[in-house]
Amino acid sequence: MIENEKVRIWVNRVFAFLIGGVLVFLVLNLSTVSSIKKQNEELQKELDESQYGARRLLDNAKASFEGKDYAKAKEALDALFEKQPGSIEAVEGKSMYTDVLDKIEEEQTEQKDMDRKWEAAVAAIREEWQKERAAQLRLQLEQEMGDKLEKEWQRAKDEVRREWEGR
């Protein structure tokens, strides 16, 4: 009986140790899992509110569109489609995307028209500039030539006078 009692005490101790270990494991596991879940929720909320949040990206795209910065609006919508493709905001952004692309195409067409007009105007501007510059250079040359002729005349006149007086 003493031996049975000793075995029973050892079995109780092992059993208590196992139950205690399982309880410690469960407590630590639950506290760690709940902590990780809480961190995950906070990170998800932070991500939603961050620069890649669907609402924020759509709002940025709308603000850029209203500010007529269509390239930036397209960039925000592209980020929205890439980062939050299944969101409600992405659906709303798709309808806005065609307007943004149309505006970008309009700007490019306007820029091409302006470039063509500039190229046409440059030829006329160059011709006018050349005429004005040629007139300025002619006037400058005439003045310089007049000064040189006057100096040469004075020298020639002095030389002719010496010859005339020397006769």
Per-residue model confidence as pLDDT tens digits over 68-83? 888 899 998 888 888 8
Q: How many degrees, rounded to 5, is the angle at CA 138 between CA 137 and CA 142?
A: 115
Question: Which parts of the chain are beta strand (E)?
Answer: none
Q: How many degrees, rounded to 5, is the angle at CA 150 between CA 146 and CA 152?
A: 115
Mean pLDDT, the chain, rounded, equals 85
| Nearest alpha-carbon partner for 94 in 73, 111, 77 | 77
| Nearest alpha-carbon partner for 59 in 48, 157, 120 | 48
Query: For the whole model, what pTM was predicted?
Result: 0.47
- Checking if the pLDDT of 85 tops 70, the result is yes
